[in-house]
Structure 1
Amino acid sequence: MKDGVIAVVAGKEIKQEEFDLFVENLPQDKKAYLQYPGFRERLLDQYLALYTFSVDAVEQGLDKTEEFARILENTRRDILAQLAMREAVKNVKVTEEEAKEYYEANPNKFKKEETVQAKHILVEDEDKCTDILNSIVSGEISFEEAAKQHSTCPSGQQGGDLGEFGHGQMVKEFDEAAFAAEPGKVVGPVKTQFGYHLIRVEKKNEAEVQPFEAVKATIVNTLFQKKQNDAYEAKEKELKEKYVEM
């Protein structure tokens, strides 16, 4: 068989590049299976089956039916419409100046809310929670070691570390205590639906507007989508006025 030809179906050479394009156009969820042995071979079987069934359809005269003509015309219409839509928006661009102007005009959209970084210890009993607090305050045990020994929260194995979180990410009582706490000071017991907590805020991060470079890509994408929609709607209106009679 010639180089680059993977099969011959009813005299037609099927080239490797054609099959590669078929694979490239697979949905993303299907592409994930390409890592599994044998999946590409099954795809090739499916690809060749398309050709064999199409040959069979011609031999049956199905390409001469009204149904085929109707489907072909609908497909032709859809493809041409997609090409025209692509043509209508092909010149859409977003400059850095436009992105900066949008950023400066909408600072609240890029505001990073106040957050805290905190650790906690969770136990079921208030008295036990108080005893642990006293042991930490007296220096008998570190907060992290107490979390590992006593906390019923999975974070206990990381010394109680909860990472960074903002308002509303924790239950109300915990949220209020954490954001009111002084960094480095252990507060509690704080009662929530889960039990009793000791909380130590490691750091408070004040609300701030994110720098332009951090949100530039998001802004460009937002403006690009809007410009594309505007261009599409303008072209749609123009064509409707030109061709549609109602």
Structure 2
Amino acid sequence: MKKLLKEPLVHFFLIGAVLFVVYGLVNERSNNEDIIVDKEDVAHMAELWQLQWHRPPTAEELQGLIDRYVEQEVLYREALKLNLDHNDEIVKRRLAQKMEFLGNDLSTMVAPATEENVLAFYEKHKDNYQSDYVYSFKQIIFTGDHHQNPMVAAKNILKEKENLTAEQLKEAGDAFPLNFEFTNVDSFYINRELGDGVAEQLKTLETGRWDGPIVSGFGVHLVYIEKQIKPKIQPFEDVREKVTADYEYQMENDGKEAILNELKKKYHVIIKSEAIASKELAQNKTE
């Protein structure tokens, strides 16, 4: 039972009850016609003024801010009484967004990024925190500027001179502005220098001999891999910040989904559309 209570998703299902309490309090407050501007409200207005104008407001300016706040509150409440928010897409979107923000805040309360929670998340998703492939290699290139068919040219050179050393084969390739030799570079660096997908192709090549061809945006390459370091799971301390960010993102999404599913239970959704009905009918016939 204790283990079950520690599960964040179990807590998320309880958030629905909290939302109902909040809803009740809000409704109760809305029946009160008093408009209260407290010290926190005034301080917030002054802070926003300071951010915009880089100085505090004068007493007269602050009174103007308060007057505008009261006017907005009066108009807002009267608009609600007239049901002016009904079918307003902008209002719907904004209120839905605020509900999502509320869910995010509750998720943070239910499953905070404590050392225990983050470490448990890391243990469960270790494969996501592997280091990258690292290579040391030499390469030569064959381009369309110098060969009618660069792929055939590369294959012919490989077949004829595969036993040559890296330095001996260097002159067989075309002139190339980038490096002939790369030392201890990861997949990100390789793809940045030679183009997306090159690092993935290197995984298919053998070490200690000329191999290929592989293709980049520059042309066709033959590659001599001297060293390949395969990925390994990184220690928790080395990736703590990334794990924490991933954990918070996951909890936010899980919480949002759990709360939304719980709230949906309050509603019976009826879709009246001939287009939808015809699609459902077609699917049923297919099945």
TM-score normalised by the chain length of structure 1:
0.47
The structure richer in strand per residue is 1
Relative contact order, higher structure (CA 8 A, sep 6+): 2
